[in-house]
Structure formats: C-alpha cells, structure tokens
A and B are shown apart, each in its own frame.
Chain A
C-alpha cells in the first residue's frame, strides 16, 4: 500500500489557494451525470450532500436515524472555533493553526490543519447567512467565548446548543436540495458494506431498517461521514447508535485505518450510577472555571462532603498544577481524577467520582451569579442525579468522548481506496493525538461545505469509466455476504444479549485501553478480545427476524464490528510506545506524571492495512514532517 498525502507544493500559506486555482473542474453540464453517495447526515455529511447537490451532482444521502436532523452532531454543546479575530485579541489563521497543531501534540498534518484554519472564518459567514442564531452582543455583532488550549476568544456559540443549531442549519440546506431534487435522502437506512470495483469504491450495500430489505446503490464516488467510534467503549458521551461499521467495513475492503488509538476522554461527565447505565452525559467544561475539584485526603472516607473539614480535603489539580489549577487540559485532569480514585479516594456510591465544588464560588460571587452562569447545567445535573449542586458538590468522572483516529485520507480527503472520501470525525483528520474543544464542529463543516465539494471534483474529472450498475457481479457478491451475515446473527440463538457482550468489551477497553495504557494491559486486551468475539459468535441471542424492524439485529451488526475494531485499537496503542495527547502510556511519563513524547521514533501517522480474517494487520507509516512549526513539549504547568 502506498500512502501519498498529495500535499500541494509551495509555501504553507499558499497551498490551498494554489490548489484551488489549479484543480481540474468538472464541466457544469457533466455534473448531473455523476452520482455521489454520502453516508451520514451530521455536520460533515449534511454540509457535503447539500453543497454537492447545489453544485449540480446527483447525491444520495444515508443515515440510520429517522431523520437527517438527528445525527449525533446535534448534541454538541460548547461551540465552534473560527479565526475571525472579532475580539481584536490577536487571533489569526496562523494562531488557530498553531494552537491546533500544538493541542494535537504535534501529531497532525501541517497542510491540512492550515487549510482548516483558513476556511474557518467562512464557516461562520455561511452559518450566519443560513439563520443560525449565534449568540450576539448588544451592538448586534457576534459574541465569542474562550475555550481550552487557546489564549484568544474565538469560539462562537448558540447558548449550550451550538451543535444543534449548526446541524439544523446544514439540515435546512440539505432539505432545500431534497426539495430541488438534487439530493435523495434515505433515512433509517444503514450502510453495511462498501463495494469496490476494479480497485475503486463504487457503491454501498445497505439495509432498510424498516422493511429489512438489503439492497445496493452504485455511484461514481462514495463519501463516508459516519462519525466516531467512541462506543467501542460501550459507555461514552456519544449517542447510542454511533458506530464504526461503515468505516470498519471500508477498512476490510482495503482502506487504511489511521491512528485508532487516539481517543479523547472528557473530564467532566456525570459518573456511572449503576450497571444498567446506558450512556454518559457530558457537563460543559466551563464549570471548571468556578468549581474546585477535590477528594478526601483519607482513603475510604465516606462522610458527606460538608462534614469533611477543609484540612482533610485534597484539591489535587490545584496542588499538582498550580498555574492552571482546575483548568488543566482535558487529558491531564482526567488522568488525575483516575489516579485519586485508583488510590481509593474516589467519592459517590461506586467510588469512581470526584467532587466539583461550587461553595467557594457561591460565597465569593453569590448564588445569583452562579445561577446565571451555570443554571442550565445545574438543572441538567439535578435532572439526572436528583441532587442539588448549589447545596452539595457535583460528582464528576471522566468519560470517553471523541475519537481523533479514523480512516486515512490524503489532502483531497480521499482514502487510499480511490473514490472513497471520508470526512468529519470519521477520518483521522486534523486533530493529531488530541482535539481542542470547539474544533470538531469546525472540522466537520470545513470538510463538508468547503473542502470535499472541490476536492471530489479532482477525482471525478479524471474518471474514465461510468459507474457500474448494481447488477455488476461485485455488488451481487457483497450483497450476498451481507445477507449471509444477517442470517448468521439470527441463527446463533445463544444465551446472551448483545448488550451484555458489548458491556464486557467496553469494560475491558476502558480498563486496558482507556485513560492510561501500558504494554502488559494492552497485550492482555489483545488476547482477551478474541475470546469475547468467540463468545459473541457462539452465544449471542438475536430475537426476531431480518425482514422487519429489528433493533437487536442492528446492535449485533455494530457490536460484531466493534469486537474486531477494539483489537485494532489496542494493537495501535501497543505499537505507539510513547505518550502523546489522548494516548497515555504509563511507561512514558515524567516524574510528575506528564506525558512524554518520542518524536524521533513516533512522528508518524499509523495507517493499518487489513490482511484478511485471522491475520494480523500491517502497519504503514506516513511520516509527519513540519516545515513551519517547531515541535515542542506541551506544558500547562
């Protein structure tokens, strides 16, 4: 496999502009002859489908929800970054670029990140024109807030519902194209495989989730915008349906999977309350501006928090990181919380929690101010836990939140499989080993509105042959394989529910490949996952049949892929014998527990190539070369 990132030549700041002026265009009259499949209707997919439709292509867009408006992007709360410099605080394209590279712990590709920063401002213009009700100042101009990892205020937001508003904007653009007849929407339709004809991605096989019918769609190009894989851990802040199936099926058909071990854990989530737990809820990080994080100094101290005197509390973030204190970055805060809980000082019924205490802030600023700043979050906390955080400290614990890894793509957002494009969280993207807050929304919309619609033209303009029909033997073959697989799930008729096995996998992943990883644990996981996989294929119970709505069948298909993918993630984590960003190897830390990178050996993108069932995948390395930026140690002390 040859990995050519196809980075245009020339100075960093000119690359994208030059690329755009030199790119081959598809003749407008020819555009309607091309069909493009877009899988996913989140920010990446909806923006791409709408824009491609508008350009005149024929687009088919797929999502598993009952409406494209419900994609997981809807739940993003905090905001979206853009280098507008509206606050006149010295922001610039270069600064956003540099912050993103640094935040990603020097493991992202320079040219892609620079382009992302360049188009960021246009995203805000586009969304504003669509009627996205961003927060405004009294003068009528757009407001900003600050977010982690930046010294400027460049985050645009719509109350605590930024993802919702951006997605509804993209959805409205998509709806306009559906009405215009350029986009055909297939909701409640799940992609179950990719079809590759003569080395090019030419279509997909899907299951209609209402009738159960399995069918094929062919196209001149395929774009996957199917989101991240955090649910390999079972419990995460992602929507329940989020899955790796589309990306993993593409991997098994020859697309390289890059950096699967780069996962992000969010420090401020509501702790697990029992083994029925089905999802973890994120509380905005902004709470750490006024809340103080602590646990009792003494192990097993289970007095109520109010009865623990000041001298017997350990404000561990303030103690360890005096200058950033409670605002230390996500990965550092998360690991510190795990450490104190591992020492037996965690709080709450499960012992897996730390306090986030607002009593000092309330004394200092008054209840009214705290209510005004965080009222909706306190309300959400109370709704879920039944506790009043004005009176008793919140309990928080880290949870899996976002995945930086994904399918490998070049500068055109095309994978190594010609014709297969990947955007949004599904690609390995621009965030390196760690994503900064408010940058995923930016990347999804950049990919969808402003990058893919141009770069896909480069592929189409060079195409010699028209798309095959779905009668092509390759489609027949893949369809048959999908049908067989579906039948297999239904026929096992064992004793265990899909969820019980997913939970087992998730627990193992969280323990061995979660916040902190080490060689021994990863090897153990690599040995154990195949055992769980075998248990699944022998003993899972999927009731009902295939020709109807069958949610257990849907879950089984997704879990089957997670059960293979989890192993790949662990292999990647084992190979990367350094700590960087969200990937923390316990063997590589400084005396005070900071991550230690090894630039000499690990400045590469890991791209894994599938070799066949029961054979180990092969690792390819794309070197990361910085022309503009100097690598440095990330320090937040």
Chain B
C-alpha cells in the first residue's frame, strides 16, 4: 500500500522543528510500524538525506523505548499496543499519517521523534524502591503474601515507563506512572515501612520535574500500552493524603 507521512523533523533540543512530508510507497501490510519507518529511512539514506531518528530497542513491547504519536494518539490507534508492536495492516492504502514525538514540557524533544524522559528516572530515584541492602534479605517464604495482593502489585508493576500517559494528558501529568510504581510497592508488605515517605517524595519529584496536575480525565489509562488502571491513581491520592496529614501532625 501507499501512504503519506507527515513527520516531525527537528535537529536538536534547541532547533525549531517542523512537519515534513514523505511518500511511503509500496508498504507491506505485514510490516510493523517501525519496520515501515526503517524502509522509509533506507530510502532516505539512498537518496542522500538524513534518516528520521526514533527511539526503539526491544521491538516487542516491553522495554518502553519506542515512543511516537500517530495522528494525535500516543503509540497509535491500536489499544494496548506500543508503536513497535503496531502493524501496518491496521492502516489502509492512501492513509495520511502524522507522526510526532511524545509532546510534554518535561519531555523535551532532542531530535525528530526522540524525547528526553530522564525525569522519569528522577522520580524513581526519589523513592521508587524498597531500601534493602544486598544480602540482608530474609528467606523469601517467611513472609507469605496473599495471592490477590501479589496480583495487584503485578498489575501495577507491568508499567514499561514509556511516557505515553504523560503525552496523552492535556496537563502532562505523570500521575499514572507514579501511581503504578507507588502502588506496586505500597501494596506489598515489603514496601509498607517506607510507604509515606515514598508517596511524598515521588510526588514532590514529579512536581519538581514540571509535570502537571491530574484532573481525572484518564486519557493516560486509555493509551497505556499495558492498560495500567486509573484505580492506582485513586490509591496514590488516598495514600498521599494520609501521608501528608501524618506529616503535618508530626511537624507540630
């Protein structure tokens, strides 16, 4: 099939960017979206042009590296699918596709479709861990954990940190990302001792990185390739409230 692409091209963080049109002719419906971009890039290189830069690595929907917004939807039109797992059979001959980087102030564009998501690392550094020294852990089965708690923690832990939630949110909020990590750890007994500090620190780090507030539209959950539930945001809100109340009393 033949497609028309409108792709965001931007040389670096400081350069202005713009949409540039390309013909993507003779595309096999069996290709993945990134393979389609590979083919377009091979042709650009052949013609002496610079290929479109985009982030990717595993190409199987788990590393969270790939990130592109297709016709306004982060990761494109298929539900629960990263852009590397999206296949061209979902498009049709003659389609016009606008391909842009994930847009959000805390994710500056560094080239074409690539953005800087290091703010996510800073959030995890602020509290997305259990403080346990290597070698000091108790025997694993000394602490039985109800199966449903373990399952809930796993539901939250499935987050791949791609940032689609932020890109989909009109406020560029990172609440779903933060909630996924805090809920994973706070649901498990191992994470309980640091529960309050964790939510306070992670939310503070999120604010500091310039992410916006959550106004409960849940666009985040709708585009999440791992379908992380917005219920975790409610859990984070509750835990945050409790932790802040405790903190203000402790302060007195």
Contacts and interface: CB of A to CB of B under 8 A. Distances in A.
| Interface size classification for chain B | 35 or more
Nearest to A48: B134
B79 to A, nearest CB: 11
Nearest to A168: B157
B46 interface: yes
Contact of A69 (B51, B110, B121): B121
Nearest to A541: B45
B130 interface: yes
B45 A279 contact: no
A175 interface: yes
Contact of B111 (A86, A178, A548): A548
A69 B105 CA distance: 22
Nearest to B36: A276
A353 to B, nearest CB: 14
B34 interface: yes
Contacts of A499: 38, 42
A549 B111 contact: yes
Contacts of B31: 274, 276
A133 B12 contact: no
A276 B134 contact: no
B68 to A, nearest CB: 14
Nearest to B81: A383
B150 interface: yes
B234 interface: no
Nearest to B137: A129
Interface in A51-76: 51, 54, 65-70, 72, 74-75
Given A65-B65, A130-B130, A136 B157 contact: no
A171 B184 CA distance: 15
B77 interface: no
Given A141-B141, A168-B157, A276-B31, A187 B118 contact: yes
A233 to B, nearest CB: 15
Contacts of B161: 67, 69-70
Contacts of B89: 386
B141 A126 contact: no
Interface string A192-221: 000000000000000000100000000000
Interface string B127-147: 011111111111111011111
A21 to B, nearest CB: 15
Contact of B130 (A134, A136, A158, A172): A172
A369 interface: no
A187 B229 CA distance: 29
Given A67-B120, A499-B42, 11 more contacts: A67-B117, A67-B118, A130-B130, A131-B130, A134-B150, A173-B132, A178-B121, A179-B126, A384-B87, A497-B42, A551-B51
Interface of A: 47, 50-51, 54, 65-70, 72, 74-75, 84, 86, 122, 124-126, 128-131, 133-142, 158-159, 161, 164-165, 168, 171-173, 175-176, 178-179, 185, 187, 210, 239-241, 273-274, 276-279, 281, 383-386, 449-450, 453, 497, 499-500, 541, 543-544, 548-549, 551-552
21 contacts: A65-B57, A70-B57, A72-B58, A84-B140, A86-B141, A125-B139, A126-B135, A130-B190, A131-B153, A133-B153, A133-B184, A175-B129, A178-B121, A240-B56, A241-B57, A274-B28, A274-B30, A383-B85, A384-B32, A384-B87, A497-B45
Interface of B: 11-12, 28, 30-32, 34-36, 38-39, 42, 45-46, 48-51, 53, 55-60, 62-65, 81, 85, 87, 89, 110-111, 114, 116-118, 120-121, 124-126, 128-141, 143-147, 150-151, 153-154, 157-158, 160-161, 184-185, 188, 190-191
